[in-house]
Amino acid sequence: MAKQQGGGKVVAWLAWFTGVVVSLVVGNAMIQGLLTIPRWLGGATATGVWLTLVIGWVVIITTIVGAVLALLKR
């Protein structure tokens, strides 16, 4: 088995950073209404729109809290 060099840490950090950015983009798209719950799950109703907005905020808040906690742990 080959020894892992310092590049492994860079790749891990890059993957973590990409995950944070993608989560923030998805949450933002849900808040703005660009991503919604499918119509067959009630996404076209007022409750579905409200639920999508709430889920978007949950994604944003948990991503920010998780990222800050991960940075503080290092």
Q: Which pLDDT score is estimated for 1?
A: 46
pLDDT for 10-36, tens place per residue? 998 999 999 999 999 999 999 999 999
Confidence band, pLDDT 50/70/90 cuts, at residue 42: confident
Helix ranges restricted to H, the chain: 7-32, 46-73
Q: Burial level of 56, CB count in 10 A (0-12/13-18/19+)?
A: buried
* Residue ranges of domains in the chain: 40-74
- The backbone torsions φ and ψ at residue 53, rounded to the nearest 5 degrees and listed phi first, read -65, -45
Instruction: Please state, in angstroms and rounded to a whole number, the distance separating the CA atoms of residues 64 and 21.
Output: 10
Whether pLDDT at 3 is above 80: no
Q: What is the mean pLDDT of residues 38-54?
A: 91
pLDDT in the model for residue 62? 97
